[in-house]
């Protein structure tokens, strides 16, 4: 079926796909708010006619969504033990979109729509990763980005988790997708996202990536053993692309570890709780 013909059958779902694709490309401060507002209002207008509202109760039957909702509530509850409400509220500003996205996406997308959305999101991560690689290589220059911080449009604290997620999901697509052309395409995205993860400054995302990779290799060891070719390529890629990192990256990890050691030696000195690792240790 022609893609344009398929998309033209349901403009609302087409807009959802566009929304998902643009999530990692946050050009303006108002972009996510405006796009989310349009999405939610559109859903309110057509929800009753399409039976979306009748599906809302099913949200509470989904354990993953319940866990997400509980986590969000806990994040807002954490404001009760902060001395800086302005900073706390500002740190939670991105979470407000989940309250709109959860009912909209859960009630309007079926299994195939979810698959398409995931593929589009990972493709978008891949484009971001390619931009980051171009900045790192010196082919593209952007204000606020450099060889040592090739973050692109987003802050590295946001971009690095995106690249980690893109690496894992694209690898799963390579493992389980039956269409060979899509396997090859998302294998390229897997490589791009992994390179971008390594060359960026998100230490927490890199550490989380390594730990998550270890857990997944234990859980899916049978699948990995049956696909040694992909695993070998992945491991070789890990070793090869580490050469893309420079000494600055190792220094950043070392400074983070040293910071934790200082805090553990003198936990009552609150002046030590600084930087990203210090703040996480405090929490």
Tens digit of each residue's pLDDT, the chain (283 residues): 455 555 556 899 999 999 999 988 877 778 889 999 999 999 999 999 999 999 998 998 889 899 999 999 998 888 888 777 777 787 788 788 999 999 999 999 999 999 999 999 999 999 999 999 899 888 888 887 787 778 887 777 788 889 999 998 998 898 889 999 999 999 999 989 988 888 887 777 877 887 887 777 777 776 665 565 566 566 666 655 554 555 455 555 556 556 666 666 666 555 555 555 555 555 5
Query: Cβ(172)–Cβ(220) under 8 Å?
Result: no
How far is CA 129 from each of CA 37, 150, 165, 181, 249, rounded to the nearest angstrom?
28, 10, 12, 20, 18
Structure tokens at 138: 């010196």
d(CA 7, CA 16): 11
Backbone angles phi, psi at 193, to 5 degrees: -65, -40
Residue whose C-alpha is closest to residue 67's, from 116, 102, 100, 24: 102
Can you tell me whether residue 109 is helix, strand or coil? coil
Residue whose C-alpha is closest to residue 271's, from 87, 257, 262: 262
pTM for the model stands at: 0.79
């Amino acid at each position: 079926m022609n893609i344009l013909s398929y998309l033209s059958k349901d403009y609302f779902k087409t807009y959802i796909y566009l929304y998902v694709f643009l999530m990692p490309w946050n050009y303006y401060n108002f972009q996510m708010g405006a796009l989310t507002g349009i999405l939610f209002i559109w859903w309110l207008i057509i929800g009753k006619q399409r039976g979306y509202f009748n599906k809302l109760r099913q949200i509470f039957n989904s354990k993953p969504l319940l866990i997400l909702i509980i986590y969000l509530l806990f994040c807002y509850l954490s404001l009760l033990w902060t001395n800086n409400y302005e900073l706390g509220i500002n740190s939670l500003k991105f979470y407000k979109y989940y309250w709109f996205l959860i009912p909209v996406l859960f009630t309007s997308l079926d299994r195939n729509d979810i698959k398409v959305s995931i593929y589009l999101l990972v493709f978008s991560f891949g484009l971001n990763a390619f931009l980051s690689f171009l900045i790192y290589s010196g082919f593209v220059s952007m204000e606020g980005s450099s060889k040592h911080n090739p973050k692109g449009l987003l802050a590295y604290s946001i971009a690095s988790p995106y690249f980690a997620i893109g690496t894992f999901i694209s690898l799963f697509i390579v493992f389980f997708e039956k269409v060979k052309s899509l396997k090859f395409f998302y294998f390229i995205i897997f490589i791009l996202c992994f390179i971008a993860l390594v060359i960026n400054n998100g230490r927490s995302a890199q550490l989380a990536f390594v730990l998550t990779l270890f857990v997944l290799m234990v859980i899916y060891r049978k699948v990995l053993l049956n696909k040694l070719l992909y695993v070998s390529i992945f491991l070789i890629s890990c070793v090869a692309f580490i050469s893309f990192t420079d000494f600055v990256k190792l220094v950043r990890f070392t400074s983070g570890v040293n910071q934790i050691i200082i805090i553990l030696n003198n936990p009552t000195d609150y002046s030590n709780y600084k930087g990203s690792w210090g703040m996480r240790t405090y929490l």
